[in-house]
Amino acid sequence: MSDRPLSQRETAILLLLMAEAREFTNPELLEQYGFEIKKQERERLRQFGFIDVGKRNRAFTHKLTKNGLLKANALFAEGIPMSIVLAARMLEAVVRAMASGLNRHMRRNGIGLADIFGREPGPVPATDAPVEEPPAAEVATEPSVIVNAPTASVPAPSSDDIETSIRKAYAQLADRPNAWVSLTRLRPRLGDAPRDKVDATLRRMISMPDVRLVPESNQKMLTDEDRGAAVVIGDQAKHLILIGA
């Protein structure tokens, strides 16, 4: 039964319940999205095992089951068939529900749209892995200016200044466009910028369309230095940064 194709409306109902991740009655659907689940649609989706149907007062309730979530995942993985052309009202309802779900996910995990809609990062090139410290001549250039400057007259860097420093350091370290650079290599190039302000700036930058921060895919290769250089966003440590065009 579950292998039979879903109708356009049944597909929309499945995706909407997936995005909302909660129980809905018909009056709630009508008020929030402007449509109801008809008896035939309710019975077919229940027979497929995609929704649980209950009662709240005199209204039917509809909630996605585990099998319904698996079906929705399959629709995303395989692509929604071209034959599923949703009517304008149903399409609007699905888009609004998914936008709401994405917003909850981004707030909960401290990520931006680029983390969701960007391509999966490939293997980290060897040049982007933690490497030996740069030659002494390279290290001695900028820090000497900082050390010799009168500390009392140097104001604390602003968030915009730190962002500029991060972008400059990334450009110096990236050996090609859209390269992944480890925070282990990037942080030493930010001078004496306070760690908490650097982290706050990185958390702000992740919402920008040209910035991505991701965890190292091979956790076994992380050193203590890599873990210490990571920035925690949401509940996840991010070790690599990419700043694109």
pTM above 0.85, yes or no: no
The pLDDT value given to residue 134 = 52
For the chain, the domain total comes to: 2
Domain end point (choices 108, 127, 160): 108
Are 121 and 188 contained in the same domain?
A: yes
The pLDDT value given to residue 173 = 93
Are 88 and 168 contained in the same domain?
A: no
Are 155 and 228 contained in the same domain?
A: yes
The pLDDT value given to residue 207 = 87
Give which of 240, 202, 245 is closest to 124, Cα–Cα.
240
Are 133 and 238 contained in the same domain?
A: yes
The pLDDT value given to residue 122 = 53
Are 203 and 221 contained in the same domain?
A: yes
The pLDDT value given to residue 47 = 92
Domain end point (choices 76, 108, 140): 108
Are 104 and 127 contained in the same domain?
A: no
**3 falls within a domain:** no
Q: Which amino acid is at 175?
A: D
Burial class (CB in 10 A: 0-12, 13-18, 19+), 169: buried
**204 falls within a domain:** yes
pLDDT per 10-residue tile (average), the chain, 245 residues: 72 88 88 87 92 90 91 78 64 80 74 67 52 50 46 58 92 89 94 92 90 88 92 90 85
Are 231 and 142 contained in the same domain?
A: yes
Are 92 and 157 contained in the same domain?
A: no
CA distance 241 to 245: 14
Give the domain range for residue 35. Answer: 8-108
The pLDDT value given to residue 120 = 54
The CATH number given to whatever domain includes residue 25 is 1.10.10.10
